[in-house]
């Protein structure tokens, strides 16, 4: 019986890698985000890199990441980076700016914060590339956020919002300690909302930045493999 493409992907993803550095799992929601990441410079990768398209929304992200990290899979031990695009919440942010989360919080009331691992290597590598970087709390949502709701999230202490990062990191750390990070590129901001025609330019800027920062993830991954003093 012929094997479907999806079945082949699932089968291949379950193959365990030989002993050695674990692969790096990059989780994104959209095909355009995966396209940007796959088009970046991979020459600096110190271990295999798996780019996982989770689908949109917290439920899809949680399910996809849980499956990818299941015992026996090739990414079972992988550090996880939640990445892609996001909406900025702080006045003055611009499309193409990068948000490095200190923690991520889900969209449900009372959801706990998921702390990110050491961001130092990420911040240094991004600043060396001349990227404008913002740090702070990344909030989750189950829908596109606009207007007054955006201001409300900002008042809660968040600097940016997206639909998948919090769910991705929660799923990745559910079974214990695992290096995790959330690095998002702003595609719209308070002065550059999605409803404006100028968002097309903002989207192009965000796409180019996301593709250009792929080596930054490799530097973070490599830092995890160094002996701790």
**pLDDT of 136-171, one tens digit each?**
999 999 988 877 788 889 988 999 999 999 999 999
Number of domains making up the chain: 1
Taking the model in full, what pTM does it have?
Answer: 0.86
Confidence at residue 88, expressed as pLDDT on a 0 to 100 scale: 94
Outline where DSSP puts E strands in the chain: 24-28, 49-53, 80-88, 98-105, 113-115, 133-140, 158-162, 180-188
> Residue 164's closest CA among 92, 80, 228?
80
Would you say residue 136 lies in a domain?
Answer: yes
Confidence at residue 197, expressed as pLDDT on a 0 to 100 scale: 43
Would you say residue 188 lies in a domain?
Answer: yes
* β pairing state of 113-115 and 98-105: antiparallel
Answer whether residue 2 shows pLDDT above 60: no
* Domain enclosing residue 109, as ranges: 5-223
> What CATH number is associated with residue 152?
3.40.50.1580
> Residue 211's closest CA among 114, 129, 156, 153?
129
Model pLDDT for residues 10-44, shown as the tens digit of each residue: 333 334 444 677 899 999 999 999 999 999 999 88
Would you say residue 229 lies in a domain?
Answer: no
């Amino acid at each position: 019986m012929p094997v479907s493409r999806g079945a082949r992907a699932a089968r291949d993803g379950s193959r365990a890698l030989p002993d050695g550095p674990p692969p790096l799992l990059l989780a994104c929601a959209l095909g355009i985000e995966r396209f940007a990441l796959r088009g970046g410079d991979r020459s600096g990768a110190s271990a295999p890199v798996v780019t996982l398209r989770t689908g949109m929304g917290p439920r899809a992200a949680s399910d996809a990441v849980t499956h990818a990290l299941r015992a026996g899979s090739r990414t079972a031990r992988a550090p996880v980076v939640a990445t892609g695009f996001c909406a900025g919440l702080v006045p003055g942010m611009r499309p193409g700016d990068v948000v490095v989360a200190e923690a991520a919080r889900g969209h449900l009331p009372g959801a706990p914060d998921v702390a990110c691992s050491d961001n130092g290597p990420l911040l240094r590598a991004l600043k060396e590339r001349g990227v404008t970087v913002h740090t702070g709390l990344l909030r989750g949502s189950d829908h596109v956020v606009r207007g007054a709701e955006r201001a409300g999230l900002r008042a809660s202490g968040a600097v940016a919002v997206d639909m998948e990062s919090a769910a991705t990191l929660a799923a990745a750390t559910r079974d214990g300690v695992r290096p995790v990070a959330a690095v998002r590129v702003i595609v719209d901001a308070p002065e550059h909302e999605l409803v404006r025609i100028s968002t097309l330019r903002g989207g192009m800027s965000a796409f180019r930045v996301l593709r250009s920062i792929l080596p930054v993830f490799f530097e973070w991954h490599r830092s995890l493999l160094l002996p701790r003093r």
